[in-house]
Amino acid sequence: MVAAFFFSFNTKDVKVISFSRSAFLNIHKNLIFHYSSLLGNIYIDFIMGTRYINCVRVIAKKKLSDFWNSQKETQEPLKAWYYETKHANWRKPQDIKERYGSASLLKNNRIVFNIKGNKFRMVVKINYELKIVFIRFIGTHNQYDKINAEEI
């Protein structure tokens, strides 16, 4: 049996209710608030007093939109990559490799993505702990050959 304390904010009453562990877990599961927003998926656990934000921040989308406006054929692939990245839950480089098999893993948490069948390339730097993706370079394959992707 589990004893749960329920406090009422309107009165000074404290109620103690006993019920089985499975019933408690069922109630607990239903007391986790989920909200989808532009920031991502937000989960608030009222019993444990914790909150989780499941989203990746991409810096900067303007760099993507400027590129797809100049190279119209990249608009759909880049929009799809942006949406998938915003909702990804990457914790390590291997998580990215599982989803994007053709991506190249470099030093300093840099990843090279092939866009539009390797006609274009995008280099990003990822901070896995803070869930931030920094777009460092996006361009044609020829432009990519002229940069040092590990340092850009």
Mean pLDDT estimate for the chain? 78
Grade residue 54 by pLDDT with cuts at 50, 70 and 90. Answer: low
Half-sphere exposure of 139 (CA within 13 A, CB side): 11
Which CATH class, in words, describes the domain spanning 57-145? alpha beta
Grade residue 41 by pLDDT with cuts at 50, 70 and 90. Answer: low
Region(s) of the chain under CATH 3.30.2310: 57-145
Half-sphere exposure of 27 (CA within 13 A, CB side): 14
pLDDT at 43 > cutoff 90:
no
**Residue 9: what pLDDT?**
44
**Residue 56: what pLDDT?**
83
Query: What is the rounded average pLDDT of the residues 74-102?
Result: 92
